[in-house]
Amino acid sequence: MPRVKRGTLHLKRRKNILKQTKGYRWGRKSKIKLAQTAILKAGVNAYRDRRNKKRERKGIWHVQINAAARELNTTYSKLMGALHKKQIALDKKSLSVLARSYPQIWQKLVSSV
């Protein structure tokens, strides 16, 4: 019976790992063990930072809404409480866009509340 070599999947996996670490520095782009740990760490950081990006974005919206509200002699908390009482269900992202890009509409919204 002829001998069968089964290294194709092994090589394919190693090649894929090295393809993912292209552009990394030092041995992490060319040595398999270092590349595997670099990929794992990069994946963890990417997962965490996607959530951190959302968190930072929400904080920026909060600051923009507060700054625009203070120009019209109110505060963020008073404005959000009044919006809640009037049952105006606008999310913070759309409120910050209104405050930043559409000042006339923002002024009408704040004065109606």
Give pLDDT, residue 1: 79
**pLDDT beneath 50, residues of the chain:** none
Distance CA 76, CA 69 (A): 6
Give pLDDT, residue 21: 96
Give pLDDT, residue 6: 76
Structural contact between residues 43 and 29, judged by C-beta atoms closer than 8 angstroms: no
Residue 4 maps to a domain:
no
Residue 2 maps to a domain:
no
Domain of 25 in residue numbering reads as 9-112
Residue 1 maps to a domain:
no
Give pLDDT, residue 3: 83
Q: Please, what is the end-to-end C-alpha distance for the chain in angstroms?
A: 86
Give pLDDT, residue 94: 96
Q: Residue 66: which residues within 8 A CB-CB, separation 6 or more?
A: 75, 76
Q: What is the CATH number of the domain that holds 27?
A: 1.10.1900.20
Give pLDDT, residue 77: 95
The domain total for the chain is 1
Q: Of 39, 88, 110, 100, which is closest to residue 64 (Cα–Cα)?
A: 100
